[in-house]
């Protein structure tokens, strides 16, 4: 993902009307995210090595996701394959994996994360590292861990009548940094999600009520501000999730103010008409944008904060159960 504009650039704080939602949700999730389980799910991925497109580790990660989904009781696990071309002109097959729980339910929620990792540490301080692949512990593995933890604790005990779709998208992070200047919206990021959004398994009758993207949810002391495009285009979902976060005791983790404008997997879904928000660290106090480890060799297991992941995933669970 890519920061298009930071909150400092946009110069405006979010409207703070979120807490004024008419119906105050009950925070009553009967299931709890486990910090050690989340950490183990990240470690399982980083131990494979970088999951760059076309690599053996990428194929292993696909098997890992499919197997975990089945083990956690997914009713169906489907893989969409789509040809994609990177900005370098390289062609790959994108493999988007979706596990569905209670697939017959018309009332559905979609959660997603990317599992591919960036092939280059192009933000690393050492130029010698800038053509080496990153571990992607935060950028890739943390979001996948969040989704799998939700499958583990909630897959077989979803709220009555609720269907859950967990989507693991490919080819998010092989984009071109120069896109930052173009600001065109049509760019080299989120290639897997773009392919998936063109052939979504939804109809009028089971369209997702909302969708949540988890990206870089494992940074040390991370804060999750209201991402700009999410707020602009799915503001009611942002209001609800940030309100639930506050009621869950995580107001510090989820500040009720605007973060950056992020080019990420939520944009193709918003374009396709899905009310999708992005929970992402985008206003780090040190960098003004992402975590300092972003697209560097330091994006590794040693810099993962299991408490950050646990709180984010609990907020998502509380949201699912307060519908």
Minimum gap (Å) between residue 146 Cβ and Zn ion: 16
- The strand pairing partners of 7, in sequence order, are none
In the bound complex, what is the minimum distance in angstroms from residue 155's beta carbon to Zn ion? 27
Q: How far is the CB of 124 from Zn ion (least distance, A)?
A: 13
Nearer to Zn ion, 87 or 202 (CB): 87
Question: For residue 242, what are its two tokens?
Answer: 């940030």
Distance separating alpha carbons of residues 224 and 312, to the nearest angstrom: 9
Minimum Å gap between C-beta 216 and Zn ion is 8
In Å, what is the CA distance from 141 to each residue of 45, 90, 201, 220, 322?
6, 24, 25, 15, 27
Task: State whether residue 311 is helix, strand or coil.
Answer: helix
Residues that contact Zn ion, how many (by CB under 5 A): 2
Q: What character string, x for contact with Zn ion (CB under 5 A) and - otherwise, covers 128-167?
A: -----------x----------------------------
Nearer to Zn ion, 173 or 278 (CB): 173
38 alpha carbon, distance to own chain's centre:
14
Of 135 and 173, the one with the shorter C-beta distance to Zn ion is 173
Of 60-68, 171-179, 184-192, 234-242, the window that binds Zn ion (rule: CB under 5 A) is: 171-179
CB nearer Zn ion, residue 173 or residue 231: 173
With CA atoms as reference, report the closest residue to 320 among 149, 197, 172, 193: 149
Token couple for 8: 């400092």
Q: Read off the DSSP letter of residue 138.
A: I
Which of 173, 227, 299, 305 is close enough to bind Zn ion by CB under 5 A?
Answer: 173
Least separation, in Å, of the C-beta of 38 and Zn ion?
19
Closest to Zn ion by CB, 165 or 173 = 173
Q: Which helix (H) or strand (E) element contains residue 91?
A: strand 91-101
Q: Could you tell me if 230 and 223 are in contact, meaning their C-beta atoms sit under 8 angstroms apart? A: no
Contact residues: Zn ion, CB under 5 A: 139, 173
């Amino acid at each position: 993902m890519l920061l298009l504009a930071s909150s400092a650039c946009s110069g405006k704080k979010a409207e703070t009307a979120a807490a004024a939602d008419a119906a105050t949700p009950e925070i009553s999730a009967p299931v709890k995210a486990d910090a050690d389980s989340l950490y183990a799910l990240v470690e399982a991925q980083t131990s494979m090595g970088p999951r760059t497109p076309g690599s053996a580790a990428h194929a292993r990660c696909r098997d890992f996701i499919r197997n975990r989904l089945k083990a956690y009781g997914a009713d169906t696990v489907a893989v969409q394959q789509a040809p994609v071309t990177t900005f370098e002109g390289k062609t790959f097959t994108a493999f988007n994996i979706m596990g569905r729980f209670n697939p017959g339910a018309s009332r559905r929620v979609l959660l997603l994360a990317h599992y591919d990792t960036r092939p280059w540490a192009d933000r690393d301080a050492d130029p010698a590292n800038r053509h080496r692949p990153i571990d992607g512990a935060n950028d890739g593995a943390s979001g996948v861990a969040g989704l799998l933890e939700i499958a583990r604790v909630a897959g077989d005990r979803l709220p009555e009548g609720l269907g859950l779709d967990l989507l693991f998208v490919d080819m998010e992070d092989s984009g071109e940094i120069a896109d930052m200047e173009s600001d065109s919206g049509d760019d080299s990021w989120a290639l897997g999600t773009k392919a998936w959004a063109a052939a979504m398994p939804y109809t009028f009758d089971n369209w997702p009520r909302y969708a949540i993207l988890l990206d870089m949810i494992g940074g040390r002391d991370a804060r999750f501000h209201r991402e700009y495009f999410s707020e602009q285009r799915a503001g009611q979902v942002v209001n609800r999730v940030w309100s639930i976060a506050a009621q869950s005791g995580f107001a510090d983790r989820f500040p009720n103010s605007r973060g950056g404008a992020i080019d990420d997997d939520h944009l193709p879904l918003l374009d396709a008409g899905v009310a999708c928000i992005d929970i992402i660290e985008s206003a780090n106090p040190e960098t003004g944008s992402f975590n300092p480890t972003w697209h560097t060799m330091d994006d590794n297991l040693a810099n993962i904060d299991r408490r950050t992941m646990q709180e984010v995933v609990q907020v998502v669970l509380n949201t699912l159960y307060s519908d």
